[in-house]
Amino acid sequence: MSQSVGADAVAAQRALLEKQLDTLRTLNAKQAPTAAVQSEAALLQNIVTQLAEMNVSKSAKKGGGKITLKTPKGTRDWDPLSMALRRHVFSTIERVFNTHGAVTIDTPVFELKEILSGKYGEDSKLIYDLQDQGGELCSLRYDLTVPFARFVAMNPTEYGSMKRYHIAKVYRRDQPAMSKGRFREFYQCDFDISGTYDAMIPDAEVLCVLVEVLEALDVGAFTIKVNHRKLLDAVFSICGVPDEKIRSISSAVDKLDKSPWDEVRREMVEDKGLDEAVADKIGIYVQLHGNRELLEKLEADADLTQNQRASEGLADMRLLFDYLDVYGILGRFSFDLSLARGLDYYTGLIYEAVTAASAPPGFTGGDAPVMPKKSKKGDEEIDESTVGVGSIAAGGRYDNLVGMFSGSKRPDAVPCVGVSVGVERVFSILMQRIKDAQARGERTVRQKEVDVYVMSMGDGLLLERMRVSKMLWDAGIKAEFMYKKKPKMQAQFAVVDKEQVPFAVMLAPGEWAEGKVRVKLQLGRAEESDKGKEVPLAELSTYLREKISTL
């Protein structure tokens, strides 16, 4: 694979680089069109890459030409056990989504670069770009919300009003912390409702779906914090935060789930230059959290009720609480005025679900964890090293995102509300549970679902085992046999034991001649005699199907 590269080739490549630097310098000096600069810069990049590869192949040769066997940083393989768990999690979630009449879509893993730009604020630096190999500039998707908005904007008539889910991988060049389920390639699982409806009815259903999903996944105790962007903005405004500081003060407040008020106040006053009196006034509001009684308290606050945006926010919250009450799930929610959520595109209700379950200390696959662990120990342990990592789901209303794409006159022509479930964290929690169960010697998820092992009890009987297996496959019965002409009996039993295959179908020359095989329940041996049961070949599929159904 690695080519022999001499000093001459490297020198030639360096000369090429020199020449290309000259070309670019000339273009730049005469203010040539950006497209031309870009295209020459791409060529330069190719030259440098080739130079680097010469170097790599030289050092690879030194090291015996061996390739580094790993997945890229922040990514991992999914082994069969992880995949079995992933399939379980996805099918559980999809069942809930389908019950609510959602359809599903998929989008390409990369989008045109310009589709993603300007959507993620500071985090845009975490976007993966594809190399410019000629043609369009593309980037890997950063989330599923922007591609959804792009999809709806492209098909407003058909999908301007839809309930859809999307489960797919997204990409962020973040500092990975794989032990906590934070990867550079990871799954998101989004449920969104687009379209103009009466206020808060879709919002309440999204939250109802979230509760049903978290209950179905059995992730343990959870709370869903809710707040409203309009109310929060109004609070800042009422307290006297200057307009240009609202964004940065909002992000300071968002840290209240991990930092004490004193620290947040210090950041606002010292780092962000906020007046102390203003900070204290904010403190009174944002430390409030509760349920319906908090809503009533705020509804009695004249400062708020006289503010247009605060009134709108409170009216929304009132409706929401009524609807959540009808759904019988109000007890799951905490009205939390400190919840701010980072993303630029939220316009109304916002929410975040947090669980009490801790991230497991070591998760399978991938390379080593990186980030230091700062979380407290105890029942309520929440990952504290990064904003949002402790949360298990989050979302909100974003009424203007589709409008950013469609360029329609009304920015909120296609309002949307949705939630993204943090499935990687769900995987972590459930995988830890599986490992704990395995450590206690309990039976857990099987990687492989084989129900029958077709064995030879002498003389190989390969063609006969093939014939029986094919008969079972055609009957939809999961079966395997050993890929040996004359397998040893012990070797076959070893597989049955190791893989916990429930049934053994045993072929012996004498019985076979009479058109019979022997079936033995290997799992929970007590139920049948050790010698198993003789079954005529013609009745085998029916017999096994019935036995398997009672497992």
Binding residues for L-histidine: 143-145, 172, 188, 192, 341, 345-346
> Quick check: 36 binds a second copy (CB under 8 A)?
no
Q: What is the rounded distance in angstroms from the CA atom of residue 429 to the CA atom of residue 10?
A: 51
> Quick check: 402 binds a second copy (CB under 8 A)?
no
Residues 356-375 that bind a second copy (CB under 8 A): none
Based on CB atoms, which residue is closest to a second copy, 59 or 305?
59
Per the CB < 8 A criterion, the answer to whether 207 and 191 are in contact is no
Q: Of 5, 53, 272, 523, which one interacts with a second copy (CB under 8 A)?
A: 53
Residues 321-360 that bind a second copy (CB under 8 A): 322-323, 326-328
Based on CB atoms, which residue is closest to a second copy, 102 or 235?
102
**DSSP of 410-461, one letter per residue?**
STTSS-EEEEEE-HHHHHHHHHHHHHHHHHTT-----S----EEEEESSS--
Strands 138-140 and 110-112: antiparallel
Alpha-helical (H) ranges within 155-200 are: 156-159
Q: Of 132, 275, 367, 381, which one interacts with a second copy (CB under 8 A)?
A: 132
Based on CB atoms, which residue is closest to a second copy, 52 or 538?
52
Q: Of 374, 448, 525, 533, which one interacts with a second copy (CB under 8 A)?
A: 448
Residues 135-154 that bind a second copy (CB under 8 A): 135-138, 140, 150-151, 153-154
Considering CB under 8 A, how many residues would be counted as binding a second copy?
130
Q: Of 4, 8, 62, 67, which one interacts with a second copy (CB under 8 A)?
A: 67
Residue 244 CB, nearest distance to a second copy (Å)?
Answer: 16
- CA nearest neighbour of 181 among 406, 334, 362: 362
Per the CB < 8 A criterion, the answer to whether 111 and 147 are in contact is yes
Based on CB atoms, which residue is closest to a second copy, 119 or 230?
119
Residues 9-28 that bind a second copy (CB under 8 A): 14, 17-18, 21, 24-25, 28
Q: Of 12, 79, 263, 297, which one interacts with a second copy (CB under 8 A)?
A: 79
Per the CB < 8 A criterion, the answer to whether 189 and 421 are in contact is yes
Per the CB < 8 A criterion, the answer to whether 134 and 167 are in contact is no
Residue 378 CB, nearest distance to a second copy (Å)?
Answer: 33
- CA nearest neighbour of 329 among 442, 178, 222, 181: 222
Residue 239 CB, nearest distance to a second copy (Å)?
Answer: 30
Q: How many CB atoms lie within 10 A of CB 164?
A: 20
> Quick check: 466 binds a second copy (CB under 8 A)?
yes
Residue 348 CB, nearest distance to a second copy (Å)?
Answer: 15
> Quick check: 387 binds a second copy (CB under 8 A)?
no
Per the CB < 8 A criterion, the answer to whether 172 and 95 are in contact is no
> Quick check: 212 binds a second copy (CB under 8 A)?
yes
Residues 241-280 that bind a second copy (CB under 8 A): none
> Quick check: 75 binds a second copy (CB under 8 A)?
yes
- Binding mask 166-205 vs a second copy (x if CB under 8 A, - otherwise)? ---x-x-x-----------x---------x-xx--xx-xx
- DSSP letter at 294 equals H
> Quick check: 218 binds a second copy (CB under 8 A)?
no
> Quick check: 83 binds a second copy (CB under 8 A)?
yes
Per the CB < 8 A criterion, the answer to whether 139 and 111 are in contact is yes
- Binding mask 467-496 vs a second copy (x if CB under 8 A, - otherwise)? x--x--xx-xxxxx--xxx-----------
Burial of 510 (0-12, 13-18, 19+ CB in 10 A): exposed
> Quick check: 509 binds a second copy (CB under 8 A)?
no
Q: Of 122, 243, 262, 449, which one interacts with a second copy (CB under 8 A)?
A: 449
> Quick check: 62 binds a second copy (CB under 8 A)?
no
Residue 188 CB, nearest distance to a second copy (Å)?
Answer: 14
Phi-psi region of 269 (alpha: psi -120 to 50; beta: other; left: phi over 0): alpha
Residues 86-115 that bind a second copy (CB under 8 A): 86-87, 95, 98-112, 114-115
Q: What is the rounded distance in angstroms from the CA atom of residue 389 to the CA atom of residue 290?
A: 23
> Quick check: 437 binds a second copy (CB under 8 A)?
no
Q: Catalogue the E-assigned strands of 204-355.
A: 222-228, 289-290, 333-336, 349-355
Q: What is the rounded distance in angstroms from the CA atom of residue 501 to the CA atom of residue 320?
A: 51
> Quick check: 538 binds a second copy (CB under 8 A)?
no
For the four alpha carbons of 125, 126, 127 and 133, in that order, the dihedral sign comes to positive
| C-alpha angle 282-288-292 in degrees, rounded to nearest 5 | 135
> Quick check: 458 binds a second copy (CB under 8 A)?
no
